Amino acid sequence: DAGVIQSPRHEVTEMGQEVTLRCKPISGHNSLFWYRQTMMRGLELLIYFNNNVPIDDSGMPEDRFSAKMPNASFSTLKIQPSEPRDSAVYFCASSSIAGGPVNEQFFGPGTRLTVL
């Protein structure tokens, strides 16, 4: 299994531009999570999906952020317009919800976003 796949691995953009981050979860996993990691704020949960349905988006910082999961094998996190304070490493993770809360999450390698 290739694990959780994220693209791009690095993104450098200018303030005001739209940024789209992509994630392919592990096949068979039906729960998907988007996190943001910074030195100042640590690891923050932005949003998570169960069976492609958003369950909790309370961590999405503002309306500039949106996430979709059109099918079980693909999710996007979009920032529009981007700002320098959005610079961070964004992680996608997936897990199985079979059995409830007992399953660990598998993390992708992350996308390092720099907004100039």
Partner 1 sequence: AQSVAQPEDQVNVAEGNPLTVKCTYSVSGNPYLFWYVQYPNRGLQFLLKYITGDNLVKGSYGFEAEFNKSQTSFHLKKPSALVSDSALYFCAVRVNTGGFKTIFGAGTRLFVKA
Q: Tell me how far CA of residue 74 lies from CA of 24, 45, 80, 86, 109, in angstroms.
A: 5, 18, 20, 22, 16
- If one asks whether residue 28 binds partner 1 (CB under 8 A), the answer comes out as no
3-state secondary structure of 31: strand
# binding residues, partner 1 (CB under 8 A): 23
Q: Could you say which DSSP state residue 72 is in?
A: T
Site string for partner 1, 34-73 (x = CB under 8 A): --------xx-x--x-x----xx-----------------
Minimum CB–partner distance for residue 48 and partner 1 (Å): 6
Contact indicator for 93, 106 with CB cutoff of 8 Å: yes
Contact positions toward partner 1, by CB under 8 A? 4, 31, 33, 42-43, 45, 48, 50, 55-56, 91, 93, 97, 100-102, 104-110
